[in-house]
């Protein structure tokens, strides 16, 4: 059996979708559905069972889990909001919960693959190397990144990174992110802005070395992200931290133009002031260093930005569908 925590979330539900494509349905989905529309991401997907995250944690701690042996535990569940300010909640949800599952997996000799984040790299001034040497020195810019950094550093100190896989996801976008509100990708939000206003709004630059909209990100299509993630299910030996990105930086202007091109419309971009509260915590450049992943044996190329955006816009945003085929509303 495969367990996917955060299985109704963005990357988690895409992972279940890809597993279904590969013929795998012996899956336990764990999440916290709450009262939003996240449940729709599961509509059309096939899995053995669903369990709420608190009940799953209680079963892990009590040793009363489903008796089916677990082959891989993909721990993708977390609060992923980079603007969340409740530090206690982030510590409990992203750090303590992950520690409990990691210890459980190591005791049971279960393959444990967990979501770290590129937010751990902070402003990028120390580079983006997914090495154990760099890990303790990283300085995230927000509490979300810090909660992920705490676990990476703890796992390193405890010697567990030699027994676990941590994936540092860069800027992932694609279908099944509808429920994420303000944390949706610019592709999703930009599409909605075009439909409503005929233009996309991007932040102005507040640094002289970057033009407006020329801030850079390593944009990764969610279908590539799940293929990279599943590599660590089939390849049992690689352990440690791995960047999950394309290895290429593109600008927000590039992304906006790709959305307009997918809709066959001329680009119209309006630049707006960045909120004061974000300026000190804003990343102006990210780019994954993917060589460690390649050295581990992952060989698939990633989709070019324009092709990935076109697939997302034309096959999911315009028709309003999830990866499982279910309508959004």
Q: What is the mean pLDDT of each run of 10 residues along the chain (329 residues)?
A: 97 98 97 89 96 95 86 91 79 92 96 96 94 95 92 96 97 95 94 97 96 97 98 94 98 98 98 91 92 96 98 97 89
Q: Would you state the pLDDT for residue 32?
A: 94
By annotation, the residues acting in catalysis are 144, 180
CATH of span 2-173+219-247+287-300: 3.40.50.720
Q: Where are the domains of the chain?
A: 2-173+219-247+287-300
Q: Would you state the pLDDT for residue 111?
A: 97
Q: Would you state the pLDDT for residue 236?
A: 86
Q: Token pair of 109, please?
A: 């000799």
Q: Would you state the pLDDT for residue 281?
A: 82
């Amino acid at each position: 059996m495969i367990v996917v925590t955060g299985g109704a979330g963005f990357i988690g539900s895409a992972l279940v979708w890809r597993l279904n494509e590969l013929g795998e349905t012996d899956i336990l989905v764990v999440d916290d559905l709450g009262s939003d529309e996240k449940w729709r991401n599961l509509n059309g997907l096939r899995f053995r069972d669903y369990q709420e995250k608190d009940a799953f944690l209680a079963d892990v701690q009590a040793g009363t889990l489903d008796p089916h042996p677990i082959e891989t535990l993909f721990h993708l569940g977390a609060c992923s909001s980079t603007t969340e300010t409740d530090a206690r909640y982030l510590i409990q949800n992203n750090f303590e919960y992950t520690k409990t599952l990691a210890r459980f997996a190591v005791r049971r000799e279960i393959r444990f693959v967990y979501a770290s984040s590129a937010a751990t790299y902070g402003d990028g001034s120390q580079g983006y190397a997914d090495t154990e040497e760099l890990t303790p020195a990283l300085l995230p810019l927000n509490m979300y990144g810090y909660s992920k950094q705490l676990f990476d550093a703890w796992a390193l100190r405890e010697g567990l990174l030699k027994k676990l896989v941590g994936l540092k996801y860069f800027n992932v976008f694609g279908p099944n992110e509808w429920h994420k509100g303000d944390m949706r990708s610019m592709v999703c939000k930009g599409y909605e802005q075009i439909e409503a206003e005929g233009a996309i709004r991007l932040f102005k630059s507040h640094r002289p070395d970057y033009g407006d909209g020329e801030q850079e990100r390593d944009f990764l299509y969610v279908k590539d992200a799940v293929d990279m993630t599943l590599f660590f299910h089939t390849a049992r030996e690689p352990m440690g931290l791995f960047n999950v990105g394309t290895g290429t930086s593109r600008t927000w202007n590039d992304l906006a133009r790709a959305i307009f091109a997918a809709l066959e419309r001329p680009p119209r971009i309006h630049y707006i002031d960045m909120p004061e509260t974000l300026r000190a915590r804003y990343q102006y450049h990210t780019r994954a260093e993917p060589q460690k992943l390649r050295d581990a044996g992952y060989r698939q190329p990633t989709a070019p930005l324009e092709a990935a955006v076109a697939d997302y816009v034309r096959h999911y945003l315009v028709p309003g569908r999830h990866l499982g085929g279910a309508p959004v509303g």
